[in-house]
Amino acid sequence: MIRRNFLGVLTGSSLSLHPGLKLLSDEYLSEIARLPAGVHPAVLATDEDYWAQVGQAYTTSPQIINLNNGGVSPSPQIVQDAVERYNRYANEAPTYYMWRIMDQGREPLRENLATYAGCSAEEIAINRNATEALDTIIMGLPLEKGDEVVMTRYDYPNMLHAWRQRELRDGIKIRYAALELPVENEEQIVQSFTAQMTSRTRVVHITHIINWNGQILPVRKIAEEAHKRGAEVVIDAAHSFAHLDYKIPDLGGDYLGTSLHKWLSAPIGSGMLWIKREKISKIFPLIPNDSPRSENIRKFENLGTRSFPIEQAIGVALKFQEAIGNQRKEARLRYLKNYWAEEAAKLPKIKLNTSLDHRYSCALAHVGVEGKEASEIESFLFSKYKIHTSPIKWEALNGVRITPHVYTTLKDLDRLKEALYQLGRG
């Protein structure tokens, strides 16, 4: 009976082991999903009463305005409760509950993630973050001396480090597409990548949403050009998964990695790897197992002892995401960005380094102040207004990254606008 009830929790069909959580999860999520039925996402994006109800799911600090959700997003209370519940059970007899009971929940979780992502469950591996997922691909691809990889200098540092290590170790060559951010010309973006593709190009690495300033790249069009030239495509979706409304196959890539503790609001230290099914066998696992050439996606989950509570609570975060809905969430996030950014762009000395065109940005934005360093801006915002941001000085960008989430209120953003007004006057 205990085992049957526990597996019910893992599959989402029952939450009987924690009646309070069942009430909060099932009834609250049903209400969140039901209320906006028939309302266009763009209209719902401005409904503060609805989003206030969504925001009640979070336990964020009332003293700090957190506008650095792009680093790690807080989890809703129901996700936190799930982690704690699973952790308590694991600690009653770890090797029994983890390996014989909780381990059985991975397959239902894999299926649920695959359904949400629009792909086969046999293409999904569950891991700890985007870096682990993408490093699995980067280090596992069979490349030889002289093979070329196309990417940009605005890709995430850990990915740049990984490819540069392969360059040092294996003699491959990296060619950098020249981007000047922000950019609002799709053809120009695609051309910057194709200009670096040659007969030796084997891989094109594309960051769907650039973490520094929120620039959205036309991934599918770049991928199509790469495939025309016989190259494979690796997609860094750390900031686009559960942020933008899409299915993984829509992007046209061959490999993809993402973090789930960002826009999905899953527990901290959760991520996902996707590999097109016919390409699984060619990738060596980052952590070896007894069948490195296997066609089974599970070969990438040979992590040894891991956090089963974190892994299983991903399913609760997924239910929360689905209750809101991708289109509604994307519309709200873009509305929040535009709410402050449109006015900030008009202020003296303020430089908005993110497009306001919906095709090229959503929640993330980068803002600089004439004559001030990124660290100065970040310090001012926090010390004077208790607004937490991320200082970003990278390539041509010098300022702070602003990333609201679904719990962010317009009152929070009004405070940000006031702070930027003061910065512009100084």
- pLDDT one-digit tens code per residue, 166-175: 999 999 999 9
pLDDT for 25: 61
Q: How confident is the model at residue 34 (pLDDT cuts 50, 70, 90)?
A: confident
Q: Stretch 279-305: mean pLDDT, rounded?
A: 94
- In whole angstroms, what is the distance from residue 311 CA to residue 313 CA? 6
Q: Stretch 9-32: mean pLDDT, rounded?
A: 48
Beta strands in 165-267 (DSSP E): 173-177, 201-207, 232-236, 255-259
pLDDT for 306: 87
DSSP 3-state percent helix, strand, coil across the chain (nearest 5): 45, 15, 40
Q: Stretch 115-124: mean pLDDT, rounded?
A: 98
Q: How many CB atoms lie within 10 A of CB 91?
A: 11
pLDDT surpassing 50 at residue 293: yes
The DSSP symbol for 24 reads I
Please report, rounded to a whole number, the percentage of residues in the chain having pLDDT higher than 70: 94
Burial of 370 from C-beta contacts in 10 A (0-12 / 13-18 / 19+)? exposed
Query: Which own/partner pairs from 296-304 qualify as long-range (CB within 8 Å, at least 24 positions apart)?
Result: 296/122, 297/122, 297/123, 297/124, 297/125, 297/273, 298/125, 300/125, 300/127, 300/136, 300/273, 300/275, 301/106, 301/125, 301/126, 301/127, 303/127, 303/128
pLDDT surpassing 60 at residue 203: yes
Q: Stretch 319-334: mean pLDDT, rounded?
A: 96
- Average pLDDT of the residues of the chain: 92
pLDDT surpassing 90 at residue 417: yes
pLDDT for 112: 97
**Residue that the structure tokens 């960051």 belong to:** 207
Q: Which domains does the chain have, with CATH numbers?
A: 118-307 (3.40.640.10), 327-425 (3.90.1150.10)
pLDDT for 35: 73
Q: Stretch 233-252: mean pLDDT, rounded?
A: 98
CB 214 within 8 A of CB 363: yes
Could you read off the pLDDT of 352-386 as tens digits, one per residue?
A: 999 999 999 999 999 999 999 999 999 999 999 99
